[in-house]
Structure 1
Amino acid sequence: PMSRAGLLLLLLLLPAAGRALGEALRPQYPKASCKASGSRPGSSLDRLRWKAPRGGGGGGGLAATATPMDLDQRSRRAGSVVAVSAALGSLLQGFDTGIIGGALLFIIPEFQLADRPYLQGLMVTSSTMGAIGGTVLASKLSDAIGRRSTLLSASSLFITSSLLMAWAPNVNVLLGARAMMGLAIGQASSVVPVYIAECADAKQRGALATIPQLCISSGIMLAYTVAFVATMLNKSWRLMVGLALVPSLLQCLCLLMLPESPRWLLSRAKTPEDRDKALHALAWLRGVKDQPDLVAQELATIEEGLQQTAPRTTDKAAAEARGPRQGWGALLHEKALRQRLAVCMTLQMFQQVTGINAVVYFTPQILKEAGVPQLFSRIGLTENSASLLATALAYMPKIPALFFAMSLMDRMGRRRLLQVFVPLMGVCLASLCSVFSFMQPGAAIPGVVALISICLYGSFFVLSLGPIPNIISAELFPLRARSAAMAGSLGSQFVFNTLVGMAFPILRHTFGTQVVFGGFATMCVLCWLYVNRFVPETRGASLEDLTEGDGGKGSAATA
């Protein structure tokens, strides 16, 4: 019965996925993207182009000699440096997520955890629990000391926890170190999308905001590769977890060279000198740090937008006395912001209940159950080594898929990508569900189908539910509530991450892998329906434009 249900679900999803993919690949999208990213007065690069022919004094003649293409390349280069440096925290998140599966093969016998499954589960989820606390802390910290300073704080936690995990003499120290790593992950996950969104130019914001997801997937693949090599060489798990120290130190060094978010600096500006710091930060981010006057008009536009995002109220005297609500106060008291937060938190929930972290945490066991290690038996690998190798191979397509996502994010838009690729995720899960109906000893075809299904599922995930919930969460809220909203959104992600990670092995043992993946496929259908009804488009608009209005679909849509 489950095989027929899986095939029926597959047939139901295929037409919707085919139609959505056909619409997405029509040639109208490049044309629409040109319109969306054309000469809008709110576009920073357009202002640079207007000002470029005027220059000639003061800064070595950059404005007089630079072409629009030069200025565009400068801005893209500076924006990429900021995004990659900040997203090293996301690389560490992915590495921590992926490395624990391989490290447990060594940790369990060393600390005698074979008969203590609750400690094994706690070892996996301790970092996620710490991440929930990190998101709550980040909402206050990033508003108080700044986005860059909060990332430096997270970087110091990454360094400390990496050293503690590599040294841990007992289980308690190891659990504490993983919880500290989770605290750093929560801080970084909350602040990285906000920092990138506030620093990026509107026309490349979608592509740059995809870089954290690229780093997460790269970190997971790196972790599985390290685990496979360590298993083959019989190396200690301490080397595996201790390698997180390298990107931790690199991120700390890179952050020391980056500017603070100009929007955050403006929100704290009380003197002309404070505003001048914001101007120079913005000039650095647009690649014209020697000619800050070129971005003066953009800074004025941002400043005006920040003033216009104060909440509307009929009691002007009370509003002036109290000032605009900040953080959680704004989210709880303003209906438009509550509605936006509900959309973001629901998207984060769907990101998890469609099965991604169940697949990430348990891919080796899933592939082993599907008979994939038999495909590698001829080259002399053990069953564990073959499962880890197959897992690393399953993640390789996600990297080129993420580069594809970066190219599509500002062309197709966030909402359209969800509409196209979430149904395709459901197709892959339904296919994986059907595989377990045709398992036979020695049969190679089910193993091949399972491996291909997981590869495609991961690729479609990073084109849709992987990066987009965080991107939208960083775009839809005014500066005064952005950090708190990002914390709430990511808190939803980490809570459902923990629930799915803890429930999956229990559900799998109780109902079977086939039934569980059928449930994940059903969640993809529900997610697609929710996106069509509630999720707005944010492509091509400035953050100030997006945060004006009532927060409804029409006010946020730009397509």
Structure 2
Amino acid sequence: MGGAVWVAIAATIGNFLQGWDNATIAGAVLYIKKEFNLESDPKMEGLLLAMSLIGSTVITTCSGSVADWLGRRIMMILSSICFFICGLIMLWSPNIYVLLLARLVDGFGGGLAVTLVPLYISETAPTETRGLLNTFPQFAVSTGMFLSYCMVFGMSLAETPNWRLMLGVLVIPSVLYFVLAVFYLPESPRWLVSKGRMAEAKKVLQQLRGMEDVSAELALLVEGLQVGTDATVEEYIIEPDTGLTDDHDPAAAKDEIKLYGSEEGHTWVARPVTGQSMLGIASRHGSIQNPNVPLVDPLVTLFGSVHERLPDQGSNFLNFGSMFSTGGKDTKNEEWDVENIHRDDDDDYARDDDDDYVRDEENIQTPLMSRQTTSMGKTNATPGGSMFGSIKGGSFVDGGGIGGGWQLAWQWTENEGVNGKKGGGGFKRIYLHQEMESDSKRGSIVSVPGGDVTGENESFRAAALVSQPAVCPPKELTDQHVIGPSMAHPSESVGRGSSWRDLMEPGVRRALVVGIGIQFLEQFSGISGVLSYTPQILQQAGVSDMLSNLGLEPASASLLLSGFIALLMLPSIAVAMRLMDVSGRRTLLLTTIPPLILSLLVLVLVNLIETSSIVHAVMSTVSLLLYICFFMMAFAPVPNILCAEIFPTRVRGVCIAICALTFWISDIIVTDTLPLLLNSVGIAGVFGIYAVFAVIAWVFIFLKVPETKGMPLEVITEFFALGAKKITD
């Protein structure tokens, strides 16, 4: 995990530059207005601040598709170059029009950073810490703001503050960002897999995870190439294999999955529970539609059911290690080295169509899923197929899973269509996860294909998300190499690429509703306007006048308070970093938005009711501080985290660009109209509007936004596809 942490920190330098620039322009505009006579021209002042947002909007329209084409790393390098160029231009800026051009280029850099860094971190981070690492960008933004306010405050104490120098300092950290992006940051392994560059993806994963065996996760990335699979949720009972089913009911053996442990004779069997609905887990909680709140999206209920059934921390797990299936043949009792075995039948194996593909090193000659170096006994494989892995006495051991306690496996079944042809066989892809222990687990009777089985201490329930593999080889290939479907190179899927038709898949459409909605409501809850105009808001509140008794100019006093507020953002984001993977994204949002609304209402009342100047200044400052802190705990980082999690790999860049476009357009509207709103409805009216949108945001999140913590990206998108299809059927 250490590699992923340092990579995330290096990537967030772009977000640091964005925060630095936002705070610098917020302070420098106090002096720019005087030099260019903008006090009487609020439209030009609003355009100056909104110009970077316009640049971000323009670059975002193509950033997603270009990132899917060229890669995430190249776009971050381009972002650093944009920051460097705009810093040079702002250091010069002979007139307002050149400054507007510099702000436009600055928007290009910021737009790429905001759009792609969360995407990049989500695609490189381990499942268990993805929320934590994806909170780094917001922490970097706030750190940049705090340090920038410190710099601007120090410069404001000079007799003639130099706003050009304030803005031009951006050149220095942008050089650091460029160096790290070029020489340190690797390409996203998911993007590499999507381009068929499997060996490179493996090396990156080994670097990020600090381990040699990354075969399970590599296979997961291959499975994530497919959009809109037809999945079902099923339930299994996993218990020691007694062999009774094989002896008494051979037909039941077709549906069971055997799990082989590290010791000879230590075998478990997973048997599907009969009589389950298509939505498996959710059905045990009643209808997928929440009867108490009928308007709640069924996807929210489905995701919630999964999380409710997860085991408590510290409970016993079974870890199946790196699993793969057989096609009805006995496997040899030997160890496999998936990267070094030389095959004589190369010509029959899947090829890569890329011209620069190096056959001996790049092309996958062997399966992506490998057997761990364990001693196997005779498999006695059944027609239902078998999966192999490492089981250590029933207790959880972090091994060859795909993250978050999930396991990826395949099952070979006969009489299923392959490539549209009947009469052969086919693989099922299975995402497996143990469920929470219930009070009725021990001693309960569960219906399984082999008859009623008593759920003794060693048996437990497991949820399984079952669908067709993304890459399914022909039967002659599986007969030759009896391992599993992801042994096939994903060149066919890579060649097809993404299309706008993929955006019409039910799961993708549903995810876009969530992503676009939460980005829109985040901005209209007012954070961008508040942060851009914090010094002026504090001036209107009278705080600067109160601090003038300390000998500070009003502008310096407001900058000092702004820096103090930016400093207090950091512990708020630290709380989010601690809870993002514990409480979850949805819970954090629903918990922090109500006090955020309350702080806005206090700001409205303070500015409507006549009070003394000191009371007015103190209440305004405290309420503004609480608003920003509660916003930073969840509403600031979560929308970008969610948008980086809920879309399939093939269309992730395009979909995130659509959500980011919503973000920037909303940001432009909020920032550009704030000076006009302050002049027309006053500060109380502005905060009242923000409070209304915050209430709408809470309702939207409660009804539409599911919980995604602890789930691999590919499992999240599979659940979106499953839930959306069942809802629309």
Pairwise TM-score range, normalised by the shorter structure: 0.7 to 0.9
Picking from 267, 285, 288, the partner of 2:208 is 285
Change (3 A) 1:504 1:106: closer
Q: Indicate the residue corresponding to 2:701 in structure 1.
A: 531
User: How far apart, CA to CA, are the structure 2 residues paired with 1:172 and 1:435?
Assistant: 39
Q: Is the 8 A contact 2:55 2:106 kept in 1?
A: yes
1:258 equivalent in alignment to 2:185 = yes
**Residue 296 (structure 1) aligns with:** 215
Tell me if structure 1 keeps the 8 A contact 2:225–2:648: no
Instruction: Output one character per residue of 1:82-128: Cα deviation in whole Å (capped at 9) or x when no partner.
Output: 11111111111112222112212332333444454433222111100
Contact 1:310 1:324 in 2 (8 A): no
Q: From the superposition, tell whether residues 208 and 166 of structure 1 become closer, same or farther in structure 2 (CA, over 3 Å).
A: same
Residue 376 of structure 1: CA displacement? 1.5
Query: In the alignment, what sits opposite 1:359?
Result: 530
Q: Deviations over 1:26-69 (max 9, x none)?
A: xxxxxxxxxxxxxxxxxxxxxxxxxxxxxxxxxxxxxxxxxxxx
Taking structure 1 as reference, are residues 555 and 543 closer, same or farther at Cα in structure 2, changes over 3 Å only?
farther
Task: Give 1 or 2 for the bigger CA radius of gyration.
Answer: 2
The residue type paired with residue 224 of structure 2 is: L
Residue among 501, 506, 526 paired with 2:676: 506
TM-score, length basis structure 1: 0.79
The equivalent of 1:154 in structure 2 is 79
CA RMSD of aligned residues (A): 2.5
Map residues 384-399 of structure 1 onto 2, 5 A cutoff.
Answer: 384-399=555-570
C-alpha deviations, 1:369-418, integer Å up to 9, x for none?
22212431321112221111122212221101111110100000000001
1:425 corresponds to which residue?
Answer: 596
Worse-superposed segment, 386-395 or 105-114: 105-114
Counterpart Cα distance in 2 of 1:545 and 1:86: 25
Q: Distance in 2 between matches of 1:510 and 1:106?
A: 24
The residue identity in structure 1 corresponding to 2:220 is T
**Secondary structure, counterpart of 1:411 in structure 2:** coil
Matched, 1:496 2:422: no
Name the aligned partner's letter for residue 338 of structure 1: R
Q: Which amino acid is 1:267 matched to?
A: S
String of CA shifts for 1:479-530, please: whole Å, max 9, x gaps.
1110011111111111111101122222222122112212211221111111
Cα deviation 1:340-377 (Å, max 9, x = unaligned): 11111110111111111121122122212222124313
Do the aligned partners of 1:355 and 1:520 also contact (CA within 8 Å) in 2? yes
With CA pairs under 8 Å and 6+ residues apart, which has the higher RCO, 1 or 2? 1
In the alignment, is residue 202 of structure 1 matched against residue 127 of structure 2? yes
Residue in 2 that maps onto 1:519 = 689
Matched, 1:171 2:96: yes
1:449-468 to 2 correspondences below 5 Å? 449-468=619-638
Kindly indicate which of the two structures has a greater share of residues assigned to helix: 1
Partner of 1:21: none
> What is the letter of the counterpart of residue 245 of structure 1?
V
Paired residue for 2:60? 135
Q: What secondary structure, in the 3-state scheme, does the structure 2 residue paired with 1:277 have?
A: helix
Tell me the distance in 2 between the aligned counterparts of 1:88 and 1:174. 24
- Given that 1:336 and 1:551 are in contact with CA atoms closer than 8 Å, whether structure 2 keeps it comes out as yes
Aligned partners of 1:232 and 1:385 also within 8 Å: yes
In the alignment, which residue of structure 1 is the partner of 2:310?
none
Question: Do the aligned residues in 2 keep the contact of 1:217 with 1:398 (CA within 8 Å)?
Answer: yes
SS of alignment partner, residue 164 of structure 1: helix
Task: Give 1:277 shift.
Answer: 1.0
Kindly indicate which of the two structures has a greater share of residues assigned to strand: 2
How much does 1:446 deviate? 2.1
Show the counterpart of 2:652.
482
Residue of structure 1 in register with 2:502 after alignment: 330
Q: Give the C-alpha shift of residue 546 in structure 1.
A: 0.9
Structure 1 507/281 Cα, relative in aligned 2: closer, same or farther at 3 Å?
Answer: same
Gaps of 5+ in 1: 1-74
Q: In structure 2, which of residues 605, 624, 627 is the aligned counterpart of residue 434 of structure 1? A: 605
Give yes or no for contact 1:535–1:553 (8 Å, CA) kept in 2: no
Supply the distance in 1 between the matched residues of 2:538 and 2:494 (Cα, whole angstroms): 58
Report the secondary structure of 2:157's partner residue.
Answer: helix
- Which of 147, 161, 176 does residue 235 from structure 1 map onto? 161
- By how many angstroms is 1:241 displaced? 0.8
Give the aligned partner of residue 548 of structure 1: 718
2:7 corresponding residue in structure 1: 82
- Kindly indicate whether residue 22 of structure 2 is the aligned counterpart of residue 103 of structure 1: no
Change (3 A) 1:504 1:154: same
Contact kept, 8 Å, 1:343 with 1:534, in 2: the verdict is: yes
CA distance in 2, matches of 1:205, 1:175: 37
TM-score with structure 2 length normalisation? 0.61
CA contact (8 A) 2:24 2:167 kept: yes
CA displacement at 1:311 relative to structure 2: 5.2
Closer/same/farther in 2, CA of residues 451 and 185 from structure 1, 3 Å limit:
same
1:306 aligns with 2:478: no
Contact 2:46 2:675 in 1 (8 A): no
Q: What residue number does 1:191 align with?
A: 116
Corresponding residue pairs, total: 469
Counterpart residue identity of residue 452, structure 1: V
Measured at CA, do residues 114 and 434 of structure 1 come closer, stay the same or move farther in structure 2, by a change above 3 Å?
Answer: closer
